[in-house]
Amino acid sequence: MAGSQDAKKEVVVFDAEAARDLVKELTGNFASGKTRSYEWRVAQLKNMLKLCDENEKEIVEALRLDLSKPELESTIYEIALLKNSCKLALKELKHWIKPEKVRTSLTTFPSSAEIVSEPLGVVLIISAWNYPFLLSLDPVIGAIAAGNAVVLKPSEVSPASSSLLLKLATKYLDSSSIRVIEGAVAETTALLEQKWDKILYTGNGRVGRFVMAAAAKHLTPVHLELGGKCPVIVDEGINLQVTTRRIIAGKWGCNNGQACISPDYMITTKDYATKLVESFKKELERFYGKNPLESKDLSRIVNFNHFSRLTKLLDEDKVSGKIVHGGERDEVNLKIAPTLLLDVPQNSLIMKEEIFGPLLPIVMVDKIEESFDLINSGTKPLAAYLFTNNKKLKQQFVISVSAGGVVVNDTAVHLAVPTLPFGGVGESGTGAYHGKFSFDTFSHKKAVLYRGFAGDAPVRYPPYSSGKIRLLKVLLGGGIWDIIRALFGWGKA
């Protein structure tokens, strides 16, 4: 009997006390200066590359178990993008960490100045389920490159990926400064009760508000990667086949619409809508066959709750009769076919909520320019897309539409450009990362001014006189001739 009890595994509870101990331990390790060294950063980034190279099959399998994600999407959109981020950081790290020399002014002459990028400290990264490896490890790359200690909390909604992330991080990365904590609401809450030097959260606005409220208690800076209703405008007179294919790639080719930058709804003119729908029908059948529910190139819906949510959007009375293509669903295998809906009412649920799935409503306008007001009447999206050959319309789109990022004549591809910041605005998020922006988001830009003891001007010290006031005014805001005039007492103060 005693032997049987001894054989039972002890359940480890991660509560607020455990979270507090974790932060204390990592804070001590960060204070030792270990993570600040260039050698440590490079070693961890190289190990991250090895993690991706040596475990590609395991990562692809975990993504298949969680999302039925096609192998191409797993290897290209998750693993390859991660490896590119690692390689860029390794290549540019010496340049990124080098202090930036800046000019000084006459008020501090003689002096020199620089901006030093220093790590923030111990940071918390809470990632999402839809791209569980990319959205977990890409921010970690930036945090490591900047010299921080890191705690990663993967999403419990993709359990196979979460478990594998813990296993691989423990094997490849320095566990004294980089930790993965699995769990759900209780564990996340325990982590958020602690004081961090920065929190990066990827997910939805509802949880984002909770994260900000928890962070506010400690005045912790927060980086939010959220989403929103990303619009795609389709003008007339474009290459219709290429347009249709690129929208399909950005919608159903990105985790079957379960991506924050996937087109959420489409806007076109009443005159062009029928032609556009016919092109979609043709290309969708070409890509996914006559029965898309059997296609191996479409991810499934992540779980039954999300399947039910999407079904509710589709079955609303004012929406169900608007389906012009697709609509098929398989509740057992959690699959929903690519679905087009034409002329959906603006007051329907599907036009109020972020869809995050394979449904694409089409909104019709009389003139394509009306699209901008329609988009701006809602919250600011994470991404906005326009297909047109009209130069004036492109310029108007970039100026008029406020979004995290905009793309003309394609969808989603800006994510793969490391020289562009990736992030939201307003309710679609705050902060940006990717490439050097990842390094910057986890760094403090420290102002440093160097002076010697020469050139100590008595003008700054009491007793104050009208001549000193006049000279200080021109030193702070005047030109060289103003300074000369003040030195000789010429002119008025």
Going by C-alpha positions, the residue among 232, 382, 359 that lies closest to residue 306 is 359
- Beta-strand ranges (E) seen in 157-315 are 178-180, 198-202, 222-225, 231-234, 265-269
Distance separating alpha carbons of residues 150 and 141, to the nearest angstrom: 10
> 155-189 as b/e, with b when 16 or more CB fall inside 10 Å?
bebbbbbbebbbebbeebbbeebbbbbbbeeebbe
The one-character DSSP state at 252 is T
Are 457 and 110 in contact, with CB atoms under 8 Å apart? no
Which helix H or strand E contains 165, and what residues bound it? helix 159-172
What are 225's strand-pairing partners?
202, 429
Amino acid code (one letter) for 191: L
Going by C-alpha positions, the residue among 82, 418, 407 that lies closest to residue 261 is 407
Distance separating alpha carbons of residues 459 and 456, to the nearest angstrom: 9
| Side-chain-facing half-sphere of 376: CA atoms under 13 Å | 11
Q: At what angle do helices 159-172 and 38-54 cross, to 10 degrees?
A: 130
The reply to whether 316 belongs to the active site is no
What burial class does residue 426 get, using C-beta atoms within 10 Å of its C-beta: 0-12 exposed, 13-18 middle, 19+ buried? middle
- Name the active-site residue from 225, 230, 354, 427: 225
Distance separating alpha carbons of residues 41 and 32, to the nearest angstrom: 15
Cis check: omega of the bond before 463, within 30 degrees of 0: yes
- Name the active-site residue from 254, 260, 354, 427: 260
Distance separating alpha carbons of residues 93 and 48, to the nearest angstrom: 15
Cis check: omega of the bond before 110, within 30 degrees of 0: yes
The reply to whether 254 belongs to the active site is no
To 10 degrees, the CA torsion angle through 281, 284, 290, 291?
-120
**Residue labelled with tokens 């986890």:** 442
CB atoms inside a 10 Å sphere around CB 485 = 17
Distance separating alpha carbons of residues 267 and 271, to the nearest angstrom: 12
Catalytic residues: 225, 260
